[in-house]
A and B are shown apart, each in its own frame.
Chain A
Amino acid sequence: GAGVSQTPSNKVTEKGKYVELRCDPISGHTALYWYRQSLGQGPEFLIYFQGTGAADDSGLPNDRFFAVRPEGSVSTLKIQRTERGDSAVYLCASSQGPGQGDYEQYFGPGTRLTVT
Chain B
Amino acid sequence: AQSVTQPDIHITVSEGASLELRCNYSYGATPYLFWYVQSPGQGLQLLLKYFSGDTLVQGIKGFEAEFKRSQSSFNLRKPSVHWSDAAEYFCAVGGANSGNTPLVFGKGTRLSVIA
A residues near B, CB below 8 A? Answer: 31, 33, 35, 40-45, 48, 50, 55-56, 59, 91, 95, 97-98, 102-110
Q: How far is the CB of A55 from chain B (nearest CB, A)?
A: 8
What is B's interface to A at a CB cutoff of 8 Å?
4, 32, 34, 36, 42-46, 49, 51, 90, 92, 94, 99-108
Question: Contact between A98 and B100 (Cβ–Cβ < 8 Å)?
Answer: yes
* Closest B residue by C-beta to A96: B100
Is B105 a contact of A42 with CB atoms below 8 Å?
Answer: yes
Assess whether A102 is in contact with B43, with CB atoms less than 8 Å apart. no
Q: How far is the CB of A31 from chain B (nearest CB, A)?
A: 5
The contact sample of 16 A-B pairs, CB cut-off 8 A, is: A33-B103, A42-B90, A42-B92, A42-B108, A43-B90, A44-B105, A48-B101, A50-B100, A55-B100, A95-B100, A98-B100, A104-B46, A105-B103, A106-B46, A107-B36, A108-B43
User: CA separation between A105 and B45, bound complex, in Å?
Assistant: 10
Interface of B is mostly: strand
Give the number of A-B contacts (CB < 8 Å): 59
Partner of B43, one of A48, A55, A110: A110
A45 to B105 alpha-carbon distance, docked (Å): 9
**Do residues A43 and B105 form an inter-chain contact, with CB atoms below 8 A?**
yes
Please measure, in the bound complex, the distance between the C-alpha atom of A40 and the C-alpha atom of B106, giving whole angstroms.
11
Q: Which residues of B contact A40 (CB under 8 A)?
A: 107-108
6 closest A-B pairs (Cβ-Cβ)? A42-B105, A45-B102, A107-B44, A109-B43, A31-B100, A98-B99
Given known pairs A103-B94, A104-B49, the reply for A43 and B100 (CB within 8 Å) is no
**Given contacts A91-B43, A107-B44, A109-B42, is CB(A41)–CB(B108) below 8 Å?**
yes
Inter-chain CA distance A40–B107, complex, in Å, is 7
Which of A91, A97, A103 gathers most chain B CB within 10 Å?
A: A103
CA separation between A43 and B105, bound complex, in Å? 6
Besides A42-B105, A48-B101, 11 new A-B residue pairs in contact (Cβ under 8 A), listed by A number:
A33-B102, A33-B103, A40-B107, A40-B108, A41-B108, A43-B44, A45-B102, A45-B103, A104-B46, A109-B43, A110-B43
Do A107 and B43 touch (CB < 8 A)?
A: yes
